[in-house]
């Protein structure tokens, strides 16, 4: 996890808890109600919507065991970084 993502999650515990819950729900239980989309023009990058926040993360080798959180931020700000 990047330092920026780690700092954000340390201030926003509920967003972090929801991120973990959604990851488990989507990848382990195949829950279609989790808002995850592949990011266009970026291989293996996905974004998850959690209320007004977006979590951009990467799966390595298609395995959920290694998740790198690239960026976290509000909807208006997060896409400016890409």
Q: What is the mean pLDDT of residues 41-57?
A: 87
Q: Using an 8 Å Cβ cutoff, are 54 and 75 in contact?
A: yes
With vertex at residue 82, the alpha carbon angle to CA 7 and CA 53, rounded to the nearest 5 degrees, is 50
Q: Quick one: tokens of 63? A: 């395995």
The number of CA neighbours under 13 Å toward the Cβ of 28 is 8
- pLDDT digit string, tens, across residues 28-40: 888 989 999 998 9
Structural domain span for residue 9:
3-81
Q: What is the mean pLDDT of residues 54-58?
A: 88
Predicted confidence band of residue 10 (pLDDT cuts 50, 70, 90): very high
Domain count, the chain: 1
Residue 45's CATH number? 3.30.2310.20
Q: Quick one: tokens of 70? A: 């690239």
What is the pTM for the complete model shown?
Answer: 0.77
Q: Quick one: tokens of 43? A: 């291989």
């Amino acid at each position: 996890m990047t330092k920026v993502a780690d700092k954000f999650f340390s201030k926003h515990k509920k967003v972090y808890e929801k991120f973990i819950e959604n990851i488990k729900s989507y990848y382990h239980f195949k829950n279609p109600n989790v808002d995850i989309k592949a990011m266009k023009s970026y291989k293996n990058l996905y974004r998850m919507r959690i209320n007004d926040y977006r979590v951009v993360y990467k799966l390595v080798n298609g395995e959920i065991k290694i998740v790198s959180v690239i960026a976290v931020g509000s909807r208006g700000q997060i896409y400016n970084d890409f």
